């Protein structure tokens, strides 16, 4: 009687937990990767792939927080280089991360996961405001927490937001899944000495 599917699932889950090095992670995802083969926007196929991979990690008992970029929709730095006010451009980029956060939230929930979207800008109609204690409590309740709108301040990247949120929620590790393989003092693509 004890070897039911549910029992076997629980045993497998406990074995995986024993092998997992990290209890709580912060995952930094690229917004640009959401484009897939498109020139801009969100590729539903790529979004579903993200959700499936996140689900596999979540099922191992890992608490997951996510910061996602907005480069597939808008980059404040790019706007500024074309004559736009940098601060306004950065706020537009923050809104792009909220759009991506909403898309990811929908994809995760379609796969049966509980999620919360928290933003550094107040947008109560679509997301909770970022509150550290609330974020931690959601993680403890096995919900995936997505952080949108970066730090809520211009001149800071979503990489900075990922590190900040990771430290605040006491993540064991920050995992970066983006096109850039690290953090540099200059643009790596343009400066070989970065």
pLDDT digits (tens, 9 = 90+) for 149-174: 999 999 999 999 999 999 999 999 99
Q: 18 versus 45: which is more confidently predicted?
A: 45
Q: Which residues of 174-186 are buried (b: 16+ CB within 10 A; e: fewer)?
A: bbbebeeeeeeee
Residue % of the chain over a pLDDT of 90: 68
Strands (DSSP E) along 93-172, which ranges?
115-119, 128-129, 144-148
Query: In the structure, what pLDDT confidence band is assigned to residue 2 with cuts at 50, 70 and 90?
Result: very low
pLDDT for 3-16, tens place per residue?
A: 445 544 554 555 55
pLDDT of residue 1: 34
């Amino acid at each position: 009687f004890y070897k039911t599917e549910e029992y076997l699932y629980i045993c497998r889950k406990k074995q995986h937990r024993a092998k997992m090095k990290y209890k709580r992670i912060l995952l930094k995802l690229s917004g640009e990767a959401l484009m897939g083969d498109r020139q801009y926007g969100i590729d539903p196929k790529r979004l579903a792939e993200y959700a499936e991979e996140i689900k596999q990690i979540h099922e191992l008992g890992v608490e997951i927080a996510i910061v996602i970029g907005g480069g597939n929709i808008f980059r404040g730095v790019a706007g500024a280089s074309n004559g736009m006010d940098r601060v306004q451009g950065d706020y537009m980029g923050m809104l792009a991360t909220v759009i991506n956060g909403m898309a990811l939230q929908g994809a995760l929930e379609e796969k049966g996961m509980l999620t919360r979207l928290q933003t550094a800008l107040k947008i109560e109609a679509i997301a909770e405001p970022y509150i550290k204690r609330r974020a931690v409590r959601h993680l403890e309740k096995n919900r995936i927490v997505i952080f949108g709108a970066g730090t809520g301040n211009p001149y800071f990247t979503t990489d900075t937001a990922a590190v900040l949120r990771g430290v605040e929620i006491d993540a064991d590790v920050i995992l970066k899944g983006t096109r850039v393989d690290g953090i540099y003092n200059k643009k790596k693509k343009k400066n070989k000495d970065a």
